[in-house]
Structure 1
Amino acid sequence: MPNLAPVHAGLLRETVPGERRVVLTPEDVGSLLTRLTISFERGCGTAAGYEDEAYIAAGAQPANRETIARDCNLLVSIRKPLDVRGFAGSPTLIFLGSPLDASEPVTRSLLLDLARLEGIADAGSMDVATRQATICGYAAVLEGARKLGIGHPMLVMDGSQARPVKMAALGAGAAAMQAIATAKRLGALTYLFGFTDDERERAELLGAKFVTMDPALRHSRAFTGDALIAASRKQLAGQLREMQLIVSSTGSAAGTAPILIDDASLPLLTTGTVIIDLEAAAGGNCAMTKPDEIVARNGIRILGTTTLASIDAQQSSRLFSEGVRRLLERVTTPDGRLRIDGRDLLTRHLIGERFVGESAAS
């Protein structure tokens, strides 16, 4: 696609309930102003500890949402804006996509979804999805400890004896590995339920016990077919009986998370068990999960929070902002024009297939 006019970026205030992060910090705004004009919506960083005065001092221009929607040709936010059709023209949008996003409206806007960079080699700090997942894994264990009524170390008092909590991770991504590392440091006995030798190696490096699932079910990220899902549930139901804390983060390429703990499995868990379902936005790994709610069944509590990364909003925002800054430096020229190169592999991942041919021809 042809290069656009000089970029005027708009920094939006988040509107999703519970979302306290901000997409760019004043420090990174200051770095970008050598090549871009940036306006910010008043109050965009307040919940993350960044006041309007800091953005003004960095050189950004305060504006209301209506002015940003009218004047800016590039919009950045943590979550995808809910009111895309309210923006003038066809602005480029940079955001971290979520299964909770509304269906994409008919628009000529260029959508740069940061979720598409997750796990991509050479993305570095631009892979904000992996960085935020790591934060969620850490926060999940701390939240689980609070719900269990324990602190540091993760011990449960049983009469006159103190015994460590047993924590299980379902999944093998950044969130699961960080959850294991955090729980281990807090004194828990940690377990990873997985399929591959690579997962075993990573779990054991963190000091977790690796529980091998049926070798016939080795495609842990595929979960295709009712028989495969049912077999996984049956095996897990028996293995999870002794766990007090379960952090679940098993996704699917199809977008909808596989149900690993169903209605029949739940009563088999120990009373008092806490499940932190990090796939709540994608439907959940537990059949009872509801986004941003706590569901209690048979003495089991299932947390479906989708804003765990906002618990430490300042640190999360700093890491997010670094990735967005580096991305903007990659897709803009030194004189501040948008440069989308469809021949660049990382850019192809970022924009998807919709604009690749057009941008490569520019």
Structure 2
Amino acid sequence: MKIAIARELAVNERRVALIPDVVARLVKQGLEICVEAGAGEKAFFSDALYEEAGAKVIADSGQLWGEADVLLKVSPPEPDEIGKLREGGILIGFLNPLGDPALIQKLSDRRVTALSMEMVPRTSRAQSMDALSSQANIAGYKAVLIASANLPKYFPMLTTAAGTIRPAKVLILGAGVAGLQAIATARRLGAIVEAFDIRPEVKEQVQSLGAKFVDVTLEEDTVAEGGYAKEISEQAKQRTREVLTEHVAASDVVITTAQVPGKKAPVLVTADMVAQMKPGSVIVDLASDQGGNCEGSEAGKNVQKNGVTIMGPINLPASMPVHASEVYAKNLSALLKLMVTKEGELDLNFEDDIIEGACVTHGGEIRSERVKQALGVAVGQ
């Protein structure tokens, strides 16, 4: 069986699907690994390193895509890349199936078996394959670093000959994987940290990291399938904003991480809240490419509002390509282990809940009901 690693074409995408160390382990298992020339360069993994690991480097992308039994990517394929895929072949990567169901339809029309890393079930058994979590962890860490770099004051409390400098106050909105890592990183840098999440069950996790949990009582279910935050009613959103206004105004840094898969991100920080923040304060909106948690944020840009810097970084994991690629490669390797027999043959077992959950297209059909619903909405059905 031939497994191929594609070179990423998306703007600012520096990650690679497999790193040489993981390739070497797969080769020892009897798998044939092909790498598109230059695939790992932006992540500082040269073609020579892949060759030393036992992979074959191929310059012709058409040949690589066309001959692959399993093609591994990070970002979704570009429109002109879909035609390179072999009919009946397997594509694995981040495919954004709920945000871009039209792409999934194209893959289905091509009769490609597509497994989306976003759709891997959030179960104990699937933890080693949970690429959303591995990448969100990096995003949360990096969000704090860019906030601290742009804040015109220290994070920690310092006692100097000139007097004591008070620590920065940081508010994290959303206590998923990214939010929890942001809390831990901000605490390591010495900031006073508060955190909010509509899911009350994460309170203990927030407190265990040394942050104060902002309580907002909502009289409705706030947890969706898989443990994600659920989209809440307008009344609940208004109640949340009323409580958060005071905490946002008192913060030097606000980091927002709240996203709902396949839907516009909820607005947690309004323009009125921003207006009440101190000049020099910083907001990092990790949901800017899904519409933003902060009014006025723009995906990929830093904007100024009333002296407040609102940052809308895109794809932060790609800014740390070495470790982002390393953990993603381990996620893919764990998933491949479920799909490949000891003899190196493909075994796509749809009775396995992980394979069933991750597979969005197979045999010319869209298998995921959630993707079908998203596609129906997209075409106005």
Instruction: Please confirm whether the aligned pair reaches a TM-score higher than 0.5, indicating the same fold.
Output: yes
Tell me: CA distance 1:229–1:195, structure 2 relative to 1, closer, same or farther (3 Å): closer
2:218 to 201, 215, 229: 215
Amino acid of the structure 2 residue aligned with 1:37: E
The residue correspondences of 1:17-56 to structure 2 (distance < 5 A) are: 17-33=11-27, 34-56=29-51
Tell me: CA distance 1:148–1:102, structure 2 relative to 1, closer, same or farther (3 Å): farther
Aligned-pair distance for 1:300?
Answer: 1.6
Amino acid of the structure 2 residue aligned with 1:15: L
Q: Secondary structure at the match of 1:264?
A: helix
Give the Cα–Cα distance (whole angstroms) in 2 for the partners of residues 238 and 151 of structure 1. 22
User: Does the Cα contact within 8 Å between 1:168 and 1:191 map onto a contact in 2?
Assistant: yes
| Counterpart in the other structure of 2:147 | 144
Q: Secondary structure at the match of 2:219?
A: helix
1:295-341, Cα deviation, whole Å (9 max, x unpaired): 22221222221221123211121111111112112112233332211
Query: Is 1:12 equivalent to 2:6 in the alignment?
Result: yes
Give the Cα–Cα distance (whole angstroms) in 2 for the partners of residues 217 and 355 of structure 1. 31
Aligned-pair distance for 1:273?
Answer: 1.7
| Counterpart in the other structure of 2:92 | 94
Tell me: CA distance 1:241–1:176, structure 2 relative to 1, closer, same or farther (3 Å): same
Query: Is 1:345 equivalent to 2:341 in the alignment?
Result: no
The residue correspondences of 1:1-362 to structure 2 (distance < 5 A) are: 7-33=1-27, 34-63=29-58, 64-83=60-79, 84-90=81-87, 91-98=89-96, 103-104=102-103, 105=106, 106-117=109-120, 119-150=122-153, 153=156, 160-216=163-219, 219=222, 221-352=229-360, 354-355=366-367
Q: Secondary structure at the match of 1:103?
A: helix
Give the Cα–Cα distance (whole angstroms) in 2 for the partners of residues 165 and 22 of structure 1. 36
Aligned-pair distance for 1:113?
Answer: 0.8
Give the Cα–Cα distance (whole angstroms) in 2 for the partners of residues 230 and 215 of structure 1. 11
TM-score by length of 1: 0.89
Aligned-pair distance for 1:183?
Answer: 0.5
Give the Cα–Cα distance (whole angstroms) in 2 for the partners of residues 65 and 126 of structure 1. 27
Q: What is the RMSD of the two structures over their aligned residues, measured on CA atoms?
A: 2.5
Give the Cα–Cα distance (whole angstroms) in 2 for the partners of residues 313 and 262 of structure 1. 33
| Counterpart in the other structure of 2:377 | none
| Counterpart in the other structure of 1:4 | none
Please, which moves more after superposition, 232-241 or 213-222?
Answer: 213-222
Amino acid of the structure 2 residue aligned with 1:110: T
Tell me: CA distance 1:218–1:154, structure 2 relative to 1, closer, same or farther (3 Å): farther
Aligned-pair distance for 1:45?
Answer: 0.8
Tell me: CA distance 1:348–1:327, structure 2 relative to 1, closer, same or farther (3 Å): same
Give the Cα–Cα distance (whole angstroms) in 2 for the partners of residues 355 and 60 of structure 1. 33
Q: Percent identity of the aligned residues?
A: 28
Tell me: CA distance 1:116–1:50, structure 2 relative to 1, closer, same or farther (3 Å): same
Q: Secondary structure at the match of 1:139?
A: helix
Give the Cα–Cα distance (whole angstroms) in 2 for the partners of residues 45 and 140 of structure 1. 24
1:95-154, Cα deviation, whole Å (9 max, x unpaired): 123477583124321111111126332112211211111111111111110011456647
Aligned-pair distance for 1:175?
Answer: 0.6
Q: Structure 2: 5+ residue runs without aligned partners?
A: 224-228, 370-381
User: Does the Cα contact within 8 Å between 1:213 and 1:235 map onto a contact in 2?
Assistant: yes
Q: Secondary structure at the match of 1:141?
A: helix
Tell me: CA distance 1:153–1:310, structure 2 relative to 1, closer, same or farther (3 Å): farther
Amino acid of the structure 1 residue aligned with 2:170: M
TM-score by length of 2: 0.84
Give the Cα–Cα distance (whole angstroms) in 1 for the partners of residues 255 and 157 of structure 2. 15
Give the Cα–Cα distance (whole angstroms) in 2 for the partners of residues 151 and 350 of structure 1. 44
User: Does the Cα contact within 8 Å between 2:171 and 2:247 map onto a contact in 1?
Assistant: no
Tell me: CA distance 1:186–1:138, structure 2 relative to 1, closer, same or farther (3 Å): same
Amino acid of the structure 1 residue aligned with 2:166: R
User: Does the Cα contact within 8 Å between 2:194 and 2:211 map onto a contact in 1?
Assistant: yes
Tell me: CA distance 1:274–1:319, structure 2 relative to 1, closer, same or farther (3 Å): same
